[in-house]
Amino acid sequence: MGETDWAPPKPRDTSALYDDVELDVVVSAADVDAAFEREYDEIRRELKVPGHPRGSAPMSAVRPMLEGRVIASILAPLVMEQTPKALERAGYDPRRSARPLFDETGLEEGKPFRFTLHFQNPRARTDAELHEELSQEFSLYEAWRLDDIRRLVERSGSATLKNALVAKLKDVATKLGLETEGARILPQAYGWELAVHLAEVVLELSPGDPDAARLRTTYATRLAKLPR
């Protein structure tokens, strides 16, 4: 097959591997009030109110002028701040990407604020199912999905599965980092960046692993030399 004949593989159907989750989040009235106070204070310091030097107007004079502006300013940061906390409280990975849905008219001082997170979470699988997944050849485009499997393996507490995962991660890192067909399929920088990430995961799972340390050093050095 010539260079121009190559086409990326079709995306794998992973719908059976994940559950669609909706998580209702309630931000306490105290946290809402704290967000309002921080924003009011920050704006007040730059505000010039007739009859008062810049930044010295009392809050009672500032609040009526700024209420709508403050709500617009704090809404997105408040949701972003509370999302990882809510995920962690519910037992999910706080780094998981989640799409928030909310009604901005529901944000008021002195009242709790509610919003909903929508995301996909990997379904719990048996050791046998995880072994089957680890035995498959993962496309280079699916390397990040190994992170989900890593979390499931850690949750299962199986030493055999952990060793199998470490071997698979090192194998994928090698394929991503070396200048083989994989490096021709993926941009080199992307391949090396993934290789560094996977080698770091192996070191996290098996501290002192010499192969992972070598891979990480080699690919991190290559990555650092590339123009950005």
163 with 210, same domain: the answer is: yes
- Say how many CA atoms lie within 13 Å of 84 toward its Cβ: 6
What pLDDT, in 10s, does the model give residues 186-217? 566 777 888 888 888 899 889 989 989 988 99
pLDDT, residue 82, reads: 92
| Predicted confidence band of residue 30 (pLDDT cuts 50, 70, 90) | very high
Per-chain mean pLDDT for the chain? 79
Domain contains 8: no
The Cα 171–Cα 178 span in angstroms is 11
- Looking at the chain, list the stretches that DSSP marks H as alpha helix, in order from N- to C-terminal side: 29-44, 59-89, 127-135, 145-156, 159-177, 181-185, 188-205, 210-225
Q: How far is CA 165 from CA 109, 134, 142, 208, in A?
A: 49, 7, 15, 16
Domain contains 18: no
What pLDDT, in 10s, does the model give residues 91-128? 887 777 778 887 766 888 899 999 999 988 888 788 88
The Cα 131–Cα 164 span in angstroms is 8
Neighbours of 89 (CB within 10 A): 12
Locate 101 and state its tokens.
């849905």
The Cα 137–Cα 74 span in angstroms is 46
73: domain range?
25-121
99 with 132, same domain: the answer is: no
What pLDDT, in 10s, does the model give residues 61-97? 777 777 777 888 888 899 999 999 998 899 887 777 7
Domain contains 186: yes
Q: Are 34 and 15 in contact (CB under 8 A)?
A: no
pLDDT, residue 114, reads: 92
Lowest-confidence segment of 109-118, 125-134, 140-149 by average pLDDT: 140-149
Query: What pTM value is reported for the model?
Result: 0.56
Locate 160 and state its tokens.
């055999």
Residue 32 above 90 pLDDT?
A: yes
The percentage of residues in the chain with a pLDDT greater than 70, rounded to a whole number, is: 81
Which of 121, 144, 160 represents a domain boundary (last residue)?
Answer: 121
CATH code at position 77: 3.30.70.1050
The Cα 101–Cα 3 span in angstroms is 44
pLDDT, residue 6, reads: 44
